[in-house]
Structure formats: C-alpha cells, structure tokens
Structure 1
Amino acid sequence: MTRPRVWPGMPPPAPPATTVAAAMGLTKVYGYGDGRVLALDRVSVAFGRSEFAAIMGPSGSGKSTLMHCLAGLDRPTSGSVRIGPVELSRMTDRQLTRLRRDRIGFIFQNFHLIPTLTAAENITVPLTIAGRRPDNGWFDAVIRAVGLADRLNHLPSQLSGGQQQRVACARALMGRPDIVFADEPTGNLDSRAGAGILSFLQLCARQFGQTIVMVTHDPVAAAQADRVVFLSDGRIVDELTRPSPDSVLDRIRALDATTGMGYPPRPV
C-alpha cells in the first residue's frame, strides 16, 4: 500500500471547479497559556457543487471544529473561510445568522425537532421564521424523496427515529441551501434507518445537485460519500476518493500506524 500523504507544509489541493465552501490556512485555538488547545492547524480544503464528502478522524481530531468554522457557527483564529464568494471573517454576527438561515442547512445526530409541531411544520419552520413561503413544487419533491407523504401530520413522538431524521433532512433542504452540514446523522439510528438516510444524502447530491459535508466516525457511512477527508491532531492527513468500506478501513489502519490516529483495530 502506498504510504499516506501528510499535507501540512505541502501546497493545498486545487479547489473543485465550482467551489461551494472552502477553508484556506484555517487555524482555531481555544484557551490560553497552559490551557491552550490547537484544534485546527492550517487546514486547507474545498467542497464542490453536487459533492457528498465525509470528514473522519478520532475524537479530538478537529472534525467538528472544522465543520463549525465552515458553517459560520464558530470563528477561526486565523485563515479564510468562504461560502461561495462570501468571506465569513468579514461578516457581523447578524450577517452570519442570516447566512446560516438562508444558505446553509444542518442535520444533527439528535434531530432537534420541535415536539409540538407536526412533521410538515418542522420541515418548514426555518422558512416560517424567515417570513418566507415554501415553494410547493420543491416541497413536494423533497417529501417524495424522503418518503414522508403519509407522515406529514404526525408529531415527532409519533415517528420512528429514522422518520424523525428524515424530517430533519427535509428541513435542511427546504430553503435550497448552498451546502448542508451533517453531524453524525446516522449516529442514533439502527443500521437499516441509517442506510436510508445515507441513500437520501446520495440522492441529494446526485439528483438535486446539493453539496453535503458529513462528519462521521463510521467507515460504512463514510464509504457512501464521493470523498473522505481524514483529520488527525487538527490537520488533514489524507484523502480518499470513490471509497468503499474496505478501502476506508484500510486507510484508517495505515494512518493509525503512521500518525497514531487512535482508531480501533479493524474487526476480524
């Protein structure tokens, strides 16, 4: 097997032809003095239109921090973050709030549905808050894609975990965002429900032209993406395109041997 690349100190990769989100020289430091933690160390990465990308790394590797900085949920210490042509570091908190509402979708592990609203109301609540009406054609297309047509009047408590996550996926797409960030979207689901969510994310990229960036610990989930980006100690240490579960596991083992990423051994 070819020895994996380690990017720090090397030129960053060329950005995709149509870049939707990008970081350049991104550094994030938490705390001061003896409590100082370098969460991201000069990270450069770009995500293109219609791309389904996964970010992997052990706990503490910086993958959630990278996602939060890319999504405008956290401000970097230095470096550049862009959504399309917009530089996030130049935006006020109010402008960032509007950007997240209008141009970014989020899918979380814990669904974050409002228990007193129906599935349909949960799906459209970001538009309601923004004072916008949903596009009926787009609403129908998303509902067909997630298979929720017969569950729209149900409350979250009347839905399975997989159905609740599909509501969350539909909500993330309803405003037609530039990019959707998914944080361990299958983490609270059984394998069958998780597979359904991953198939839907693939559909979003391939049929709807949506850009998806997913943080995951799961090699099987990561293998559904077009590209896997591996982090260790706040740095991008490798990439894998057209992954399979076996190739992701093999890359993890190789990286663990060379960088001490701390993944568990491959199951026998």
Structure 2
Amino acid sequence: MTDQVVAEAESLGKVYGQGGNTVVALDGVSARFRRGEFTAVMGPSGSGKSTFTHCLAGLDTPSSGRARIGGIDLGSLSERELTRLRRERVGFVFQSFNLLPTLTAWENVVLPLSMSGREPDAAWAERIVGAMGLADRLDHRPAQLSGGQQQRVACARALITRPELVVADEPTGNLDSRSGARLLDLLRLCAHEWDQTVLMVTHDPVAAGYADRVLFLADGRLVDSMDQPTADRVLDRMRRFDAGQEVR
C-alpha cells in the first residue's frame, strides 16, 4: 500500500425525492482510498453503502460534495468524459454477473476494450486469466460455467483495462462459501500484488475480514472505521448497530 490517494469522497450527499417525500441517502460522507488498499463498506440495510460507492465511481450523481478519481472531479466532466473515465479507470463487479450470454468467456472479458476499439495487453490478459483460473474456460459461454466461474469472468472483465479503482458491490452475494472465498482472495491479490484500489460493499463479516479496513455507514453517515478487521470484530460491531449503538 502507498500513500497515493486514488479516489476521494468529500462531503458527499445524496437526496432522493422532493418536498415532504425526500430521502437522505448520504449525509456528508468523506473518505480517501489509497493505491494498493482493500476497503470494505458495511452498514445496516438502507445505510447508503451502495449509493456511496456508486457516487464515488461515477455511476450516480451526488446532490452535494465532490467525488474524485485520480484527482479528477467527476462533477466537472461531461457525460461522454465520465463514460470514458468509468470505462478506462474504474472496474466494476456486481452481485449479478452481468455477462452477455451470446459471448464466450474471453469475449466477455475483453468487452470493455472492444467497445473502445482497443486490443488487450497480451501479458496482462494472460496474467489475470491465469489468476482467475479461467485459462481452460475461455471458449465457454456463461451458461456453460458455474456461478463462481462466471463471477471470475466478471472480475477479469473489470481488470482487463488495468483500472485504478475496482468497485465490487456484494460480489459474493450469489456464490457459495468456497467460490466466495476464492473471489475474495482474488480481490485481495488485486490490491496487495497488483497495487489496485479495491472498494467492496458487503453485508458479510467474513467477506469484510479479507479487507485492510472497514468503513461503517448508518443513516447515510460514516460512523466508524476499523483497520485490520477480522470477521469476529466486524460481527461484534454490526451487532452494536442492531442494538442502536451506531456511533463510537
């Protein structure tokens, strides 16, 4: 891990609705994410976890505050520029694999490059395909792959552009425990071996235990953080949420 800040949220706020029907999803959340760091974001249902990561990664527009990637203020970009930044500098892994069923695994992996008319870096592609254990599955279509294999294809697709930031939103939600553990090992590899910044939303204390730190949100606010988490420590903290003890 280095001290280089790859992504930054500055007083991010997000409000849905108008008048008496407004819902505050984010209430002034600030955080920094460094190169080579694996961060998990947790909190009760409706705490703003996904909204926060989506605003930080340019998938949603905050109502107030700023989100920066590589020092670039996302709010200053046109829609075309923002689309290009997301495609080239951010990799996304979601709970649903979002693979195109008519494409092979390899075609799904290189899709972000194909859309921009670029060729994959052969050495990098071989490296991530090997790390994901997909070398003998590249000609298979999604329906021919297990859930764990499909999610590893999605992870390889997120990495093929060598993004600065990898955003994973409940990436193990549709996986069994063994496949989930393998994916979490791979996300940790991305951060610790490949110097990428990994930001993961999860509700699972075991998954959070793979991260370098955990940020806890409640009612749209950042209320706690934990360095070097373990599953037991995270579970204890989540139980305090259930007991109404949100703030340290």
Same-fold call, TM cutoff 0.5: yes
Aligned-partner Cα distance in 2 for 1:139–1:83:
24
Aligned-partner Cα distance in 2 for 1:105–1:40:
23
Aligned-partner Cα distance in 2 for 1:133–1:260:
48
Q: How far did 1:86 drift?
A: 0.2
Query: Counterpart of 2:23?
Result: 37
Secondary structure of 2:110's match?
helix
User: Do structure 1's residue 82 and structure 2's residue 68 form an aligned pair?
Assistant: yes
Aligned-partner Cα distance in 1 for 2:91–2:18:
32
Deviation readout 1:131-177 (Å, 9 max, x if unpaired)? 10000000000011101111010000000000000000000000000
Query: Counterpart of 1:7?
Result: none
Contact (CA 8 Å) 2:152, 2:183: kept in 1 or not?
yes
Query: Counterpart of 2:239?
Result: 253
Unaligned runs of 5+ in 1: 1-15, 262-268
Query: Counterpart of 1:214?
Result: 200
AA aligned to 1:122 is: N
User: Do structure 1's residue 23 and structure 2's residue 9 form an aligned pair?
Assistant: yes
Aligned-partner Cα distance in 2 for 1:218–1:55:
10
Query: Counterpart of 1:157?
Result: 143
Query: Counterpart of 1:171?
Result: 157
Secondary structure of 1:17's match?
coil
Q: How far did 1:255 drift?
A: 3.7
Query: Counterpart of 1:67?
Result: 53
AA aligned to 1:81 is: A
AA aligned to 2:195 is: G
Aligned-partner Cα distance in 1 for 2:128–2:200:
19
Aligned-partner Cα distance in 2 for 1:29–1:101:
26
Secondary structure of 2:243's match?
helix
Q: How far did 1:70 drift?
A: 0.4
Q: Percent identity?
A: 61
Query: What TM-score results when the alignment is normalised by the length of structure 1?
Result: 0.90
Q: How far did 1:232 drift?
A: 0.2
What is the aligned counterpart of 2:81 among 74, 91, 95? 95
Query: What TM-score results when the alignment is normalised by the length of structure 2?
Result: 0.97
Contact (CA 8 Å) 2:223, 2:246: kept in 1 or not?
no
What is the aligned counterpart of 2:119 among 133, 140, 153? 133
Q: How far did 1:93 drift?
A: 1.0
User: Do structure 1's residue 148 and structure 2's residue 147 form an aligned pair?
Assistant: no
Q: How far did 1:259 drift?
A: 3.6
Secondary structure of 1:186's match?
coil
Secondary structure of 2:148's match?
helix
User: Do structure 1's residue 229 and structure 2's residue 229 form an aligned pair?
Assistant: no
Secondary structure of 1:168's match?
helix
AA aligned to 1:113 is: L
Contact (CA 8 Å) 1:232, 1:259: kept in 2 or not?
no
RMSD over equivalenced CA pairs, Å: 1.2
Deviation readout 1:70-99 (Å, 9 max, x if unpaired)? 010111111111001100111111111111
Q: Which runs of 4+ in 1 moved over 6 A?
A: none
Query: Counterpart of 1:5?
Result: none
Contact (CA 8 Å) 1:26, 1:76: kept in 2 or not?
yes
Unaligned runs of 5+ in 2: none
Query: Counterpart of 1:113?
Result: 99
Contact (CA 8 Å) 2:240, 2:246: kept in 1 or not?
no
User: Do structure 1's residue 197 and structure 2's residue 220 form an aligned pair?
Assistant: no
What is the aligned counterpart of 1:52 among 38, 48, 53? 38
